[in-house]
Chain A
Amino acid sequence: GAVVSQHPSWVICKSGTSVKIECRSLDFQATTMFWYRQFPKQSLMLMATSNEGSKATYEQGVEKDKFLINHASLTLSTLTVTSAHPEDSSFYICSARDVRKSGEQFFGPGTRLTVL
């Protein structure tokens, strides 16, 4: 149980285009999902907290208009990188909190974004 999936697992796009990444909790309902960014050989940096049915809470320094987050249902959150540039190339990871398990977070497999 407590499986989180991400789609796509990797994506290559041209500079200036937008990319949407999906995060799904497969066997539980997640009122809260988190989006992280990880650069090579570095730790995970929280970008935003996504709550179902409300606006996402962004961490300091994260551009809201560039990284659009939508949490429309209890099992799906999406991250859209708008007008992507090469510096947005990174590993994006989501996690979902299973409230049945004392708030434990379960992570998705990540999405590798490469912007040419």
Chain B
Amino acid sequence: QQQVKQSPQSLIVQKGGISIINCAYENTAFDYFPWYQQFPGKGPALLIAIRPDVSEKKEGRFTISFNKSAKQFSLHIMDSQPGDSATYFCAAASSGGYQKVTFGTGTKLQVIP
């Protein structure tokens, strides 16, 4: 019930392309879905987050799409750049994020020139 499944495990995208990472969850109590970006040797940094009352949230080149009925959400990175190369983690939490965060397994993104 606490799992968050993430795919793909790794992703190679050409510069300027769209990177898409998908996640699915099981626990219907989850109501806060953040995405984190992590560079090697660094802690994760919050990229963007969504709550289930909206189906999409966009911040710059980053968009979260959320499908409550399917219990799925995805991250789209538009116009991907080499500087976006990092590991991305989706996550989920309940009580608006006040409860502990459950992380997905991570996606290593490589954007090639």
Q: Chain A residues in contact with chain B, CB under 8 A? A: 4, 6, 34, 41-46, 49, 91, 93, 95, 97, 102-110, 112
Contacts and interface: CB of A to CB of B under 8 A. Distances in A.
Contacts of A4: 43
Interface residues of B, number: 24
Query: Secondary structure of the B side of the interface?
Result: mixed
B17 to A, nearest CB: 24
If over half of A's interface residues share one DSSP class (helix, strand or loop), that class is named, otherwise mixed; here it is strand
Nearest to A40: B40
Contact of A108 (B34, B43, B95, B105): B43
B103 A43 contact: yes
A93 B100 contact: no
A97 B95 CA distance: 13
Contact of A104 (B49, B95, B100, B104): B49
B96 A107 contact: no
B89 A107 contact: no
Nearest to B9: A41
